Amino acid sequence: METQFPMKQILNEDGIVVNSEYESQMTEELTKELYVMMLRARMFDRKSVNLQRQGRIGTYVPFEGQEAAQVGSSLVLEEGDWMFPTYRDHGATLTYGHSARNLFLYWKGYPMGCVPPEGKNIFPPAVPIASQLLHATGAAWAEQMKGTDRGSIVYFGDGATSEGDFHEGLNFASVYNAPVVFFNQNNGFAISVPTEKQMKSKTIAQKAVAYDIPGVRLDGNDIFVVYFETKKAMDRARRGEGPTLIEAVTYRYGAHTTADDPSKYRDQEESKRRRETTDPLLRLERYLQNKGYFEESWKAQVEEEITKEIEKAVEDMEAYGPAEPSDMFTHVFETPTWSVQDQYDAFKARVKEEV
Catalytic residues: 252, 256, 265
Sheet holding 215-219, edge to edge: 121-122, 82-84, 152-157, 180-186, 244-249, 215-219
Amino acid found at 340: V
Amino acid found at 352: K
CA distance 26 to 228: 10
Amino acid found at 183: F
Residue 125 CA, chain-centre distance (Å), reads 10
Contact criterion met (CB below 8 Å) for 232 and 77 = no
DSSP category for residue 9: -
Which has the closest alpha carbon to 89: 136, 29, 21? Answer: 136
CA distance 267 to 271: 7
CA distance 14 to 284: 9
DSSP string, 146-211: HT----EEEEEEGGGGGSHHHHHHHHHHHHTT--EEEEEEE-SEETTEEHHHH-S-S-SGGGGGGG
CA distance 109 to 313: 16
How would you classify residue 80: left for phi > 0, otherwise alpha for psi between -120 and 50, otherwise beta?
left
CA distance 56 to 228: 38
Burial of residue 234, with CB atoms counted within 10 A of its CB: 0-12 exposed, 13-18 middle, 19 or more buried: buried
